[in-house]
Amino acid sequence: MIIDGKQAAADLRKILTIEVAQLKKDKGVVPGLTVVLVGEDPASEVYVRNKVKQTREVGMISNEIKLPNDTSEAQLLAVLQQLNNDDAVHGILVQLPLPKHIDESVIIAAITPNKDVDGFHAMNSGRLLNGEPGALVPCTPQGCIMLTKKHLGEDLSGLHAVVIGRSNIVGKPVALLLLQENCTVTIAHSRTKNLAEVCQQADILIAAVGRAHFVQASWIKPGATIIDVGINRIEDENGKAKLVGDVDFANVAAVCGAITPVPGGVGPMTIACLLKNTVAAARLNG
């Protein structure tokens, strides 16, 4: 079975459209999201364009700030300070990666935690770690849990979840969310020994590696639920660019119980969860 992320994202946006209208009616607040893009990167630009379009479709205000590649860290910090102080801006997202001369950790720390719709600020990751309320939770991990539940239902307790990848934006937070769902969680990474055997234990396998066709059919427990986070641009047989995940989709699909496709899986859910976080931030900031 293929888990349809495009449909799940459309369903979530429909709910958000209603919530946005309600917020406007009750409080006179229209949630606003500002995306900051530094430098030119074709992939980022496509992605930012999608975000802007979908933000407006659910009735929210969307702004995009494009800065040149040679923007200094101090200049970017000044932009963020303005956005932090702007009451019409409820959510701030700085598109990553940033140019090398800018320290990402400094930038992430400079966003007001209650406007940090990526959920990358230490205040939000700390709240998530401690299980405290009010955390803005990273979008891709939220999307992974929603897609998992779409197939397995609300109760994931006792299932063995294996996460491949330990980045701050995907691997670590998705592992914390799975733990919160009472899964038994294993986090694998580039130093993991016997990765195939580790993965064979997984009822739920989350692949966030960044390598095309990395996860093999022989690693999969029959019937397992596979969430493929990877976004890899490769060339097909005819030299045409195409998008694939981290999982050898065709062969794994024959063994597993359910799998998310790329494109059309986690990606669309990431954007829908960004809109969800912006609505949550608008509630936090009044």
Ligand X SMILES: Nc1nc(=O)c2c([nH]1)NC[C@@H]1CN(c3ccc(C(=O)N[C@@H](CCC(=O)O)C(=O)O)cc3)C=[N+]21
User: Which residues are annotated as catalytic?
Assistant: 51, 95, 118
Site string for ligand NDP, 128-157 (x = CB under 6 A): ------------x-----------------
Distance (Å, whole) CA 259 – CA 244: 13
**CB closer to ligand NDP, 145 vs 195:** 195
Is residue 176 a contact point for ligand NDP (CB under 6 A)? no
| Residue of 6, 24, 160, 166 interacting with ligand NDP (CB under 6 A) | 166
Distance (Å, whole) CA 2 – CA 225: 10
3-state SS of the chain: helix, strand, coil percent to 5? 45, 15, 40
> What is the distance in angstroms between the CA of the first residue and the CA of the last residue of the chain?
42
Q: Are 170 and 177 in contact (CB under 8 A)?
A: no
Query: CA gyration radius for the chain?
Result: 19
Site string for Mg ion, 72-101 (x = CB under 5 A): --------------------------x-x-
Distance (Å, whole) CA 36 – CA 191: 34
Per CB under 6 A, the segment of 26-34, 199-207, 250-258, 261-269 that binds ligand X is 261-269
Per CB under 6 A, the segment of 160-168, 203-211, 264-272, 277-285 that binds ligand X is 264-272
Helices 5-27 and 139-152: crossing angle in degrees, nearest 10, is: 120
Distance (Å, whole) CA 225 – CA 259: 6
Site string for ligand NDP, 186-225 (x = CB under 6 A): --xxxxx--x------------xxx---------------
Calculated CA dihedral for residues 75, 274, 146, 3, nearest 10 degrees = -100
**CB closer to ligand NDP, 113 vs 230:** 230
Q: Are 257 and 245 in contact (CB under 8 A)?
A: no
Is residue 96 a contact point for ligand X (CB under 6 A)? yes
To the question of whether residue 72 is assigned a binding role by annotation, the answer is no
Distance (Å, whole) CA 250 – CA 259: 10
Sites for ligand X among residues 128-157 (CB under 6 A): 139-140
Site string for ligand X, 36-75 (x = CB under 6 A): ----------xx--x-------------------------
Judged on CB neighbours under 10 Å (0-12, 13-18, 19+), 25 is exposed
The contact set with ligand X (CB under 6 A) reads: 46-47, 50, 93-96, 118, 139-140, 231, 243, 262-264, 267-268, 270-271
Binding site for NADP(+): residue ranges?
Answer: 165-167, 231
Summarize as ranges the residues that interact with Mg ion (CB under 5 A): 98, 100
* Contacts to ligand NDP by CB under 6 A: 140, 164-167, 169-171, 188-192, 195, 208-210, 229-232, 266-267, 270
